[in-house]
Amino acid sequence: MNESSIARKNSTWWKDLCKACDVGNNDNCFDNNVKWYIKDGKNVRFWDDRWVGDLPLKERFPRLYAISLCKENVLNELGKWEGEVCKWNLLWRREMFTWEREIFIGLYGAVRIFSTEQG
């Protein structure tokens, strides 16, 4: 990121942070060193944001992303807390093939870990 790509309307603090994190590298130092808090899930996109693991779920599970009907949804639209467990309501554009169900088990495992950590 160069100085001209930092919007003028951004705060001085944000501009300085952007400059500091771009000193001679592209290793995402900001994302790699900041812990995100999900809170009510209204601002965290299920597939696009890095809310569980090191990659967005759409990159970890591209086949499931391709058949998802929930590509634009945020967490609180897809999951609801029931006691200490989050129940997910993911919708698919078609029935999953057997091999896709195995991938879904991996997705469910990833979001289940989140559920037990946050609950």
Query: Which residue in 53, 49, 112, 50 sits closest to 86, CA to CA?
Result: 112
The total number of residues written for the chain in this structure: 119
Contact 48, 27 (CB under 8 A): no
Q: Where are the domains of the chain?
A: 3-33, 57-118
Could you tell me the two tokens for 78?
Answer: 């897809």
pTM: 0.70
DSSP, collapsed to helix, strand or coil, labels residue 74 as strand
Cα 77 from Cα 41, distance rounded (Å): 8
Cα 107 from Cα 115, distance rounded (Å): 12
The pLDDT tens digits along the chain (119 residues) read 444 445 566 788 777 777 777 655 566 666 666 666 777 888 899 999 988 888 999 999 999 999 999 999 999 999 888 887 888 999 999 999 999 999 999 999 998 866 545 44
Secondary structure percentages of the chain, helix, strand, coil, to 5:
45, 10, 45
